Structure 1
């Protein structure tokens, strides 16, 4: 599983979210990374939580596809 380092989460998380939303596809590894990030003890800003939640909302609505 991929873990982001404290202080670097926003850059890698934002880049990952941007890539997922622009492509409309998310790998299972990326799914696990985002889930671990939002559920971990990391201090996320409201904006970071919003962007991650948006990806999961888009996935649930079928606008982002989970690929292997």
Structure 2
């Protein structure tokens, strides 16, 4: 799974969040990438943190779906 996260690391958080929002679905790979971005020591901006949190909020409220 670590390989999957690294493979997507060339995409920006904004690009990933935009893709999730457009499709209405979040893949396990997207979830791992965003979760690792928040939990790792890498520096993310407050805007990126807000985008990630908003995406997770949308999943909790059912506005987005998790898919495998």
Question: TM-score, structure 1 length as denominator?
Answer: 0.84
Structure 1 CA distance for aligned equivalents of residues 22 and 54 of structure 2: 13
Aligned to 1:41: 41
What does residue 66 of structure 1 align with?
A: 66
3-state SS, counterpart of residue 59 of structure 1: helix
Q: CA deviation at 1:12?
A: 1.6
| Segments of 4+ moved more than 3 angstroms | none
Distance, in Å, in 2 between the alignment partners of 1:37 and 1:46 is: 12
- Residue 54 of structure 1 aligns to a residue whose secondary structure is helix
How far apart are 1:29 and its partner, in Å? 1.1
Structure 1 residues 7-55: Cα deviation after superposition (integer angstroms, max 9, x where no partner): x6xx521100001011110101111111001111011111000001110
The count of aligned residue pairs is 63
SS of the equivalent of 2:16 reads helix
Distance across 1 between alignment mates of 2:31 and 2:58: 12
